[in-house]
Structure 1
Amino acid sequence: MILERRLKPHINVDLTPLIDVVFQLVIFFMISSVFNTAPGITLDLPESSTSENVEITELRLTVLSSDEIYVNKESCTILTLEETLISVIEQSHMEEPVVVFDGDGEIPYQMMIQVLDILRRQGFEGVNLVTREKAEDA
């Protein structure tokens, strides 16, 4: 004769605490994520197949034309770039900032050399050039 138990254990997994923890993690990562520090400008970046990601730095240089250059979020021209660099460095108390150079793909090569010369005169040895990833050809 086979006897069966009348009281069978019922196992229920409560997912509410798990959902709460996952939701809090999502909120934490949304709040602590890094936002784009470039001014609201659309650039057509040149392509590079050997580009690498760069950590966010303290000094970002965005060049659209000789009349439209941004040091972090401060606007200047090619003529006032050196003074703007000096004031931004003094205001932020940066000792050896790394420069990230965002240049529109249509700026003349001579202008890029002028900007790099100004940076070199201010003591910046290494400048990171920003590109976008090259699209794979079909």
Structure 2
Amino acid sequence: MRRFGSHTDDTATIDMTPLIDMVFILLIFFIVATSFVRESGVEVERPQAASAQSKEKVSMLVGVTGAGKVFIEGQEIDIQNVKARMDTFLAEVPAGAVVIVADKSCPTGITVQVLDSCRLAGVKNLSVAAKAGN
């Protein structure tokens, strides 16, 4: 008689709380592990150099095209404004590294002006990008 009198619901339930916790932990891990790099915003063909080395921490890339145009963070800027832009950058990141990515057909004078402007602004860690040669 008891079988017919009381009906119990024995359905299984899944507790979603640990799964949601794990998803949030993974999300936080990937956000923290992601490297945020400022891009020059221009595609250039770098020259080859036998002594080229990989640089791990780059804070800002300055692109110089074959036509002599200067790009920082995807925006074309005038050559006279490079120093002011570096002053602003160094105020945000005092020990920031700058890499100049100049096209191999770029006029040397433009690259030297960009180098000089960065040095005058006080950039200590300054490099010129090149492809590793054989």
TM over 0.5: yes
Q: 5+ unaligned residues in a row in structure 2: which ranges?
A: 1-28
Shift of 1:73: 3.5
Residue aligning to 1:80: 81
Q: Do the aligned partners of residues 115 and 52 (structure 1) sit closer, same or farther apart at CA in structure 2, a change above 3 Å counting?
A: same
Of the structure 1 ranges 45-54 and 106-115, higher mean CA displacement relative to structure 2 is found in 106-115
> Which runs of structure 2 are paired with 1:1-138 in the superposition (5 Å)?
37-64=38-65, 65-66=67-68, 68-90=69-91, 93-134=92-133, 136=134
Match of residue 8 from structure 1:
none
The CA deviation string for residues 22-45 of structure 1, in whole angstroms up to 9 with x for no partner, is xxxxxx99xx56587534532111
Q: Deviations over 1:24-69 (max 9, x none)?
A: xxxx99xx56587534532111001121110132121111144x21
Query: Retained in 2: the 8 A contact 1:76–1:84?
Result: no
Structure with more of its chain in helix, by fraction: 2
Q: TM-score, normalised by structure 1?
A: 0.61
Query: For residue 52 of structure 2, what is the amino acid of its counterpart?
Result: S
Q: Percent identity?
A: 17
User: 2: distance between equivalents of 1:62 and 1:120?
Assistant: 16
Runs (4+) of structure 1 moved beyond 6 Å?
none
Aligned length: 105
Counterpart AA for 2:50: S
Instruction: Answer with 102-111 or 81-90: which moved more.
Output: 81-90
RMSD across aligned positions (CA) = 2.7
Give structure 1 stretches of 5+ with no counterpart: 1-27
In structure 2, do the counterparts of structure 1 residues 80 and 131 end up closer, same or farther at CA, with 3 Å as the change threshold? same
Give the TM-score of the pair, scaled to structure 2: 0.63
Mapped to 2, the partners of 1:35 and 1:46 lie a distance apart of 25
Is the alpha carbon distance of 1:73 and 1:101 closer, same or farther for their aligned partners in structure 2, counting shifts above 3 Å? same
Given residue 107 of structure 1, which amino acid in structure 2 is its aligned partner?
A: C
* Partner residue, 1:24: none
